[in-house]
Structure 1
Amino acid sequence: MVHFTKLQGNGNDFILIDEYNGEVIHADKKSAFAAKYCDRNFGIGADGVLYLGSSDRADIRMRIFNSDGTEAEMCGNGIRCLVKYALDKGYIKKNATVETLAGVLSISSRIEDRTWVTVNMGKPVFMRERIPARGEGEFLEVDMHDYSVSAVNTGVPHAVIFVDSLVPQLMHTAPGIRYDPVFPKGINVNFVRVDSIDEITISTYERGVEAETLSCGTGSVACVAVASRLGRTGRRVKVNTKGGELIITLTDEAAFMEGPAERVFDGII
């Protein structure tokens, strides 16, 4: 039997397997487990599987596998869900560190009727582009697929596209950008509407899920990083996603993501 916990952060939902005290799913089966049980018709249903483990470098460790079985370096909503679970279990205190494939990240939390977690996401890294007509430089507002596209890594790579209105174009347009050979490892795709200097609304097509998700934490950070760099917003911005809101704050050293995480139910496979 395998015990699991279902959690969600703004509708971005995850199956969590607790491996803090020892491996539950063998390393070479973690990918297949995620692909099987994330299926919303024949499994539990989720955008990904979180494996919570112990760490020699931090208080806890997070590995995340997308619903297609691929492993991601990081997940903003996922890390908040992992922290929520670890807090409930007493594995960590209010302030802690989490090891991820994107590095060791620090978190803080407040507990009310639900857990609101702040994550130091590190400094966004603007990706380099090598389009001959432009030479090499920051990938900012590059014309491709009939859009002006910017690209930044916030733990995982994100393309950011500004639009006047969010219409049902995501599934039509995003896959072409997601698989464009200019991004050899693929990329997540975000459409952004700027509502004011301190508020934006986004929709995100996630690599590994291969569909729109209700929310994306790393995508929210990416959108604010690009919007602020281009002078479209300030450095503290409310990000509206279909699943709820996140608060992103940029400093000279790092980006901070604030948002909720909730435990949905526990079960046994």
Structure 2
Amino acid sequence: MELTFTKMHGIGNDVVVIDGRQRDIALTADQARLIADRNFGIGCDQIMLITASDDADIGLKIYNNDGSESGACGNGTRCVADLVLDPDDTGKLTMDSTGGMLEAWRDGAMIAVDMGVPGLNWQDIPLAHEADTLHVDLGHDGLPPAVMVNMGNPHAVHLVDDAEAIDLAVTGPVLEHHPIFPERANIEFAHPLGENRLRMRVWERGAGITIACGTGACATLVAAARRGIIGREADIVLDGGVLNITWREDDDRIIMRGPSTAVFSGSMTLPDQVRARP
């Protein structure tokens, strides 16, 4: 199968965008892993597959680089919107994703995405059993209880004294696979940098350490606001750059604003059967 694609990134969270509106494209987990492989494929954190939709302007299917499907990718959604919207388009693009209906629009030089209402109940995350999502002790030495948020995918946000001091490569995979998460989870660590500004680092479910995570930035703002550490709008400083997140009071919806960059376009011959590497 011959695939055309556009390689893009949102503050370093790199994605491969495939437009499947004119043809029916179904990727297996093995094929998704090959596309995302940085040595044997194109290389990316996530794959964004645009599809036709009867309910929205476009449909959206998201794959992590381990081949698993994801309900949401905020940075990737901005990239898709930037690609699909005309440069001078002032309207909104509706996207039907696995995690729910999304809207995006141009906001000056940025792309804004309505990420929806965060899930805050333990069933929404989901967790394996009932718990207070504002304080969930994952039993990891030295870490405070996490705040649980669902942004179309599950997040566990740890508000710590110094996010830079966390060994993500060691702590991240352990917490991602904690038994309380039946669907695994994205793991964030954050600390305040001052008024309306937070520093965040992330271990993404199915992707590992990434330099930016849009849904993680949204979840971090929600977690810090619920704890009373910050207000309902803040800049989230990630390794790859800064995202502006607003948690609106009137309808509880999350608006994410940030840049999008197209890197290159190309084509790839994707085998029907992907041979497993030793």
Structure 1 contact 160–191 (Cα < 8 Å) conserved: yes
Q: Point out the more displaced range, 197-206 or 119-128.
A: 119-128
Aligned to 1:139: 133
Aligned to 1:221: 218
Deviations 1:234-255 (CA, angstroms, capped at 9, x unpaired): 1110000111100000113211
Per the TM alignment, residue 63 of structure 1 is displaced from its structure 2 partner at its CA by 0.5
Per the TM alignment, residue 13 of structure 1 is displaced from its structure 2 partner at its CA by 0.5
What letter matches 2:193 in structure 1?
Answer: D
- Secondary structure, counterpart of 1:104 in structure 2: strand
What letter matches 2:266 in structure 1?
Answer: G
Per the TM alignment, residue 123 of structure 1 is displaced from its structure 2 partner at its CA by 1.0
Aligned to 1:153: 150
Aligned to 1:195: 193
Q: Point out the more displaced range, 226-235 or 103-112.
A: 103-112
Deviations 1:71-95 (CA, angstroms, capped at 9, x unpaired): 10111011001111112599x8631
User: Normalization by structure 1: what TM-score?
Assistant: 0.90
Per the TM alignment, residue 111 of structure 1 is displaced from its structure 2 partner at its CA by 5.6
What letter matches 1:241 in structure 2?
Answer: L
Aligned to 1:231: 228
User: Normalization by structure 2: what TM-score?
Assistant: 0.87
Gaps of 5+ in 1: 130-134
Match 1:109 to one of 106, 110, 115 = 106
Structure 2 contact 59–97 (Cα < 8 Å) conserved: yes
Match 1:204 to one of 202, 205, 220 = 202
- Secondary structure, counterpart of 2:83 in structure 1: helix
Deviations 1:214-248 (CA, angstroms, capped at 9, x unpaired): 10000000000010011000111000011110000
- Secondary structure, counterpart of 2:85 in structure 1: helix
Question: Is 1:21 paired with 2:22?
Answer: yes
- Secondary structure, counterpart of 1:2 in structure 2: strand
Q: Alignment RMSD, CA only?
A: 1.9
Question: Is 1:76 paired with 2:77?
Answer: no
Aligned to 1:265: 264
The count of aligned residue pairs is: 256
Question: Is 1:251 paired with 2:248?
Answer: yes
Percentage of pairs with the same residue = 36
Aligned to 1:132: none
Deviations 1:196-227 (CA, angstroms, capped at 9, x unpaired): 23000100100011x11010000000000010
- Secondary structure, counterpart of 2:60 in structure 1: strand
- Secondary structure, counterpart of 2:230 in structure 1: coil
Structure 2 contact 134–226 (Cα < 8 Å) conserved: no
Structure 2 contact 150–219 (Cα < 8 Å) conserved: yes
- Secondary structure, counterpart of 1:36 in structure 2: helix
Structure 1 contact 196–233 (Cα < 8 Å) conserved: no
Question: Is 1:3 paired with 2:1?
Answer: no
Question: Is 1:46 paired with 2:52?
Answer: no
Deviations 1:112-138 (CA, angstroms, capped at 9, x unpaired): 4xxx11111111111428xxxxx9443
The structure that is strand-richer by fraction is 1
